[in-house]
């Protein structure tokens, strides 16, 4: 596998290294030793899929609060997505910065997302499926999010007619939330988020 560091501290784009012949190709998409050598998470406790019927479906920006912070390994197994992450670690040199990559069933790229990041995507085609490997069990009472169009981040999304859940549109403003917290709580946004609606079902991830 080919590991490429992104502009966000600790996040990597991972490309399978194909061995091709007249039949097609063979490629490895997971190897504990290779991930460990790159200094990345090597223990995954859950795998999830997200199926999206229509182009323009936007899910995000989601994360879990401490002590259930989670790393993710994300790839697109059908269709294509515009995949977005935000660094919410207050002590990180890339705090509040975002990154977008295109993950498709054709390019087979993967995005490694460290703990303390928010994650979301917008589908670029109909009938899109996303596959997640998760380092932490889902804990709905610790599910949190930041709004996809929050001016604190100014994420540039693809122009399209969007389908967004009510929950994802109701996350609080990041800067307003941050100013309202005692100074000690500001050290890690991923550690807590008050007045945030909880998801009614795990499928909202």
Read off the pLDDT of residues 63-110 as tens digits, 9 standing for 90 and up. Answer: 999 999 999 999 999 999 999 999 999 999 999 999 999 999 999 999
pLDDT tens column, 13-63: 999 999 999 999 999 999 999 999 999 988 999 999 999 999 999 999 999
How would residue 178 be classed by pLDDT, with cut points 50, 70 and 90? confident
How would residue 204 be classed by pLDDT, with cut points 50, 70 and 90? very low
Question: How far, in Å, CA of 87 to CA of 95, rounded?
Answer: 5
What pLDDT does residue 42 have? 87
Cβ atoms 132, 202 nearer than 8 A: no
Q: Above 60 in pLDDT, residue 173?
A: yes
> What is the pairing mode between strands 163-164 and 57-64?
parallel
68, 82, 132, 189: which one is catalytic?
Answer: 132
62, 82, 142, 189: which one is catalytic?
Answer: 62
Rg (CA), the chain: 17
Q: Above 70 in pLDDT, residue 191?
A: no
Least confident of 7-21, 39-53, 141-155, 186-200: 186-200
Question: How far, in Å, CA of 68 to CA of 115, rounded?
Answer: 9
Question: How far, in Å, CA of 145 to CA of 171, rounded?
Answer: 6
Is residue 62 among the annotated active site residues?
yes
Query: Strands (DSSP E) along the chain, which ranges?
Result: 2-5, 12-15, 19-21, 24-26, 46-52, 57-64, 72-78, 80-87, 98-104, 110-113, 117-123, 128-134, 143-145, 163-164
What pLDDT does residue 194 have? 39
Q: How far apart are the first and last CA of the chain?
A: 27
Is residue 195 among the annotated active site residues?
no
What integer best gives the mean pLDDT of the chain?
A: 89
Neighbours of 166 (CB within 10 A): 8
Q: Above 70 in pLDDT, residue 196?
A: no
Q: Above 50 in pLDDT, residue 154?
A: yes
Of 79, 85, 84, nearest to 53 (Cα)? Answer: 79
Q: Does the domain made of 2-196 have the CATH classification 2.60.120.10? A: yes
Q: Above 80 in pLDDT, residue 180?
A: no
Q: Above 90 in pLDDT, residue 190?
A: no
Say what percent of the chain tops pLDDT 90.
Answer: 83
3-20 burial code (b ≥16 CB/10 A, e <16): beebebbbbbbbebeeee
Say what percent of the chain tops pLDDT 70.
Answer: 87
Query: What is the reported pTM?
Result: 0.87
């Amino acid at each position: 596998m080919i590991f490429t560091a992104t502009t966000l501290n600790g996040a990597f784009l991972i490309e399978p290294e194909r061995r091709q012949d007249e039949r097609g190709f063979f490629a490895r998409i997971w190897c504990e030793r290779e991930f460990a050598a790159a200094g990345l998470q090597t223990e995954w406790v859950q795998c999830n899929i997200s199926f999206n019927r229509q182009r323009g479906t936007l899910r995000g920006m989601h994360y879990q609060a401490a002590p259930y912070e989670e790393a993710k390994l994300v790839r697109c197994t059908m269709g294509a997505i515009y995949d977005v992450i935000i660094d919410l670690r207050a002590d990180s040199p890339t705090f509040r910065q975002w990154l977008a990559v295109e993950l498709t069933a054709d390019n087979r790229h993967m995005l490694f997302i460290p703990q303390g990041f928010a994650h979301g995507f917008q589908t670029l085609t109909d009938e899109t499926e996303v596959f997640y490997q998760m380092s932490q069990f889902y804990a709905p009472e610790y599910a949190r999010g930041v709004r996809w169009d929050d001016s604190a981040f100014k994420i540039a999304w693809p122009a399209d007619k969007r389908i967004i859940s009510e929950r994802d549109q109701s996350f609080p403003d990041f800067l307003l939330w941050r100013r309202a917290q005692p100074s000690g709580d500001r050290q890690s946004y991923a550690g807590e988020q008050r007045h945030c609606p909880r998801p009614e079902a795990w499928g909202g991830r």
